[in-house]
């Protein structure tokens, strides 16, 4: 679909139905999408099997079926004038079914690319001339013969990271391997499924760029945010001018836009990059992966920008105008994993919200998850302020109070 009739909030169609936007998936990204859509005046529908899901709790409609349940999908299409997804591992077929009768953004085709590291890397290679960036050296391992060939002929990829082609997130489905023997063991450990072996790069930094593209091809984007990961999970996002060298920031932003354009993407896309020491003063840029949806590293936009990544998701899917967003405050986002709810001896504890919330410029977002578990994303805390120095000071204090890692470098 190249154009669509806008679905304006608060409108009522010929059948008397209120403008309703739908989302596949009920996690925290779906919840924040629902909040953004409802603030504009839309009704919302969430398709998610989990009864207690973060998004289901806050939506007008919650369809409790599997993502590929024909009756559930039919109900979602019946209720909604436009539909999006909040995670890339939704069956692409579900998006395709919905697209038969409703505008769906992003499309099944682009979600299909983003959910398969092999297809994703092929896309990055196909638009490397346009984007000016390539991905880390890698090899595809789908068969025993391919694994043996890589062991025999691609020694330069070790040490490396073996990543499952599908269903990985937050560092899951990844094994770091140093030797050919470790590679063989790791592939067996991952069940012999399709994988890519990626060369381990000496990263000096990581960043990501959020792009929003409408049905009419209009594109807006945010400046790159710098991300700090701890044990493969995002811990801290730095979002302010000077968070990385300007030359790199410009290149990353342009590359992300080119990648979205080349896909004919509609919706919000997040492109993750590595910065490596290539001997130049500003470092080299490598594209890592893309998420066909808003991203954890873009949560700061809710409190630091005049339009958030979720607002843009609503605007793109509903065919609303897409003005360039503006960041009005420097920000640091701290991820709150379930670990925060446990003390050093492993006993459950209530985080010290009284102290955290007494700090100026703190914005707490909890996702309504009933049970805290180590490594589980429970919420995030964004700190905004009048200048970068005061944001850093408050972020350090908040991290100290909550025992959060990842702030050593500020």
CA atoms within 13 Å, Cβ hemisphere of 402: 29
- Write the CA distances from 328 to 297, 306, 382, 387, 398, integer angstroms: 17, 7, 14, 11, 22
User: 48 or 120, CB closer to Mg ion?
Assistant: 120
Q: Is 86 in the site for ligand ATP (CB under 6 A)?
A: no
Q: Is 288 in the site for ligand ATP (CB under 6 A)?
A: yes
- Span near ligand ATP by CB under 6 A; candidates 7-15, 61-69, 165-173, 369-377: 165-173
Residue 227 Cβ vs ligand ATP, minimum distance, rounded to whole Å: 7
Q: Is 376 in the site for ligand ATP (CB under 6 A)?
A: no
Residue 215 Cβ vs ligand ATP, minimum distance, rounded to whole Å: 27
Q: Is 88 in the site for ligand ATP (CB under 6 A)?
A: no
Q: Is 206 in the site for ligand ATP (CB under 6 A)?
A: yes
Match 């391997």 to its residue by tokens.
177
- Span near ligand ATP by CB under 6 A; candidates 49-57, 94-102, 160-168, 243-251: 160-168
Q: CA nearest 104: which of 296, 302, 321, 293?
A: 293
Residue 235 Cβ vs ligand ATP, minimum distance, rounded to whole Å: 10
Helix (H, G, I), strand (E, B) or coil at 290: strand
Q: Are 228 and 303 in contact (CB under 8 A)?
A: no
Beta bridge partners of 270: 210, 291
The pair of structure tokens assigned to 285 is 């840029």
**Binding partner of 198, given Mg ion, ligand ATP, none, CB within 5-8 angstroms per partner class:** ligand ATP
- Taking residue 18's Cβ as centre, other Cβ atoms within 10 Å add up to 15
x/- track of binding to Mg ion for residues 256-295 (CB under 5 A): ----------------x-----------------------
Residue 221 Cβ vs ligand ATP, minimum distance, rounded to whole Å: 19
Among 136, 209, 255, 404, binds ligand ATP (CB under 6 A): 136
User: 142 or 170, CB closer to Mg ion?
Assistant: 170
Q: How far is it, in rounded angstroms, from Cα 271 to Cα 290?
A: 4
Residues from 221 through 240 that contact ligand ATP (CB under 6 A): 229, 232
Q: What is the largest CA-CA distance in the chain?
A: 66
Could you tell me which residues come within 8 angstroms of residue 61 by beta carbon, excluding any fewer than 6 positions away? 20, 43, 44, 45, 46, 79
Q: Is 169 in the site for ligand ATP (CB under 6 A)?
A: yes
**Binding partner of 368, given ligand ATP, Mg ion, none, CB within 5-8 angstroms per partner class:** none
Match 């694994």 to its residue by tokens.
147
Number of residues near Mg ion (by CB under 5 A) = 1
Q: How far is it, in rounded angstroms, from Cα 380 to Cα 335?
A: 4
Q: How far is it, in rounded angstroms, from Cα 237 to Cα 70?
A: 39
Q: Is 201 in the site for ligand ATP (CB under 6 A)?
A: yes
Among 48, 116, 120, 289, binds ligand ATP (CB under 6 A): 289
| Residue 206 among known ligand-binding residues | yes
Residue 309 Cβ vs ligand ATP, minimum distance, rounded to whole Å: 15
Kindly list the strands in the beta sheet with 138-141, ordered across the sheet, starting from the edge strand earlier in the chain: 138-141, 195-199, 160-164, 174-177
Among 86, 120, 198, 311, binds ligand ATP (CB under 6 A): 198
Q: Which ranges of 106-208 does DSSP label H, i.e. alpha helix?
A: 108-114, 117-126, 128-131, 144-153, 180-189
- Span near ligand ATP by CB under 6 A; candidates 47-55, 65-73, 166-174, 236-244: 166-174
Query: Is the torsion defined by CA of 400, 403, 409, 410 positive or negative?
Result: negative
Helix (H, G, I), strand (E, B) or coil at 248: helix
In this structure, are strands 61-63 and 43-47 parallel, antiparallel, or unpaired? parallel
Q: How far is it, in rounded angstroms, from Cα 218 to Cα 183?
A: 44
Residue 275 Cβ vs ligand ATP, minimum distance, rounded to whole Å: 11
User: 172 or 328, CB closer to ligand ATP?
Assistant: 172
Q: Which residues bind ligand ATP (CB under 6 A)?
A: 136, 161, 163, 168-172, 198, 200-201, 203, 206, 229, 232, 272, 288-289
Q: Which residues bind Mg ion (CB under 5 A)?
A: 272
Annotated binding site for ATP: 117, 163, 168-174, 198-201, 206, 229, 288-289
């Amino acid at each position: 679909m190249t154009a669509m009739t806008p679905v304006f909030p608060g409108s009522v169609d010929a059948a008397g139905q209120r403008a309703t936007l739908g989302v596949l998936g009920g996690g925290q990204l779906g919840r924040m999408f629902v909040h953004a859509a409802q603030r504009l005046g839309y009704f919302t529908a969430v398709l998610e099997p989990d009864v207690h899901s973060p998004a289901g709790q806050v939506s007008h409609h919650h369809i409790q079926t599997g993502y590929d349940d024909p009756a559930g999908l039919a109900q979602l299409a019946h209720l909604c004038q436009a539909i999006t997804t909040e995670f890339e591992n939704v069956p692409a077929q579900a998006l395709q079914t919905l697209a038969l009768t409703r505008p769906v953004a992003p499309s099944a085709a682009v979600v299909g690319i983003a959910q398969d590291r092999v297809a994703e890397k092929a896309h990055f290679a196909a638009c490397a001339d346009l984007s000016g960036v390539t991905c880390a050296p890698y090899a595809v391992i789908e068969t025993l013969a391919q694994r043996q060939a890589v062991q025999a002929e691609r020694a330069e990829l070790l040490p490396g990271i073996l990543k499952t082609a599908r269903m990985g997130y937050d560092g899951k489905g990844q094994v770091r391997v140093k030797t050919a023997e470790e590679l063989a063991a790791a592939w067996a450990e991952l069940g012999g499924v399709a994988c890519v072996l990626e060369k381990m790069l000496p990263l000096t930094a990581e960043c990501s760029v959020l792009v929003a593209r409408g049905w009419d091809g209009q594109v807006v984007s945010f400046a790159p945010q710098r991300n700090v990961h701890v044990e493969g999970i995002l811990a801290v996002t730095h979002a302010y001018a000077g968070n990385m060298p300007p030359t790199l920031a410009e290149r990353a932003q342009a590359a992300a836009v080119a990648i979205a354009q080349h896909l004919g993407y509609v919706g919000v896309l997040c492109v993750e990059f590595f910065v490596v020491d290539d001997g130049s003063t500003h470092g080299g840029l490598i594209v890592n992966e893309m998420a066909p949806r808003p991203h954890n590293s873009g949560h700061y936009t809710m409190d630091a920008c005049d339009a958030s990544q979720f607002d843009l998701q609503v605007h793109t899917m509903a065919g609303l105008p897409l003005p360039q967003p503006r960041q009005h405050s420097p920000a640091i986002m701290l991820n709150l994993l379930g670990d925060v709810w446990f003390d050093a001896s492993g006993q459950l504890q209530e985080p010290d919200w009284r102290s955290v919330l007494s700090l100026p410029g703190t914005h707490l977002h909890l996702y309504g998850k009933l049970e805290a578990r180590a490594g589980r994303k429970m919420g995030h805390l964004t700190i905004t302020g009048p200048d970068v120095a005061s944001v850093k000071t408050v972020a350090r204090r908040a991290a100290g109070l909550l025992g959060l890692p990842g702030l050593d470098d500020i």
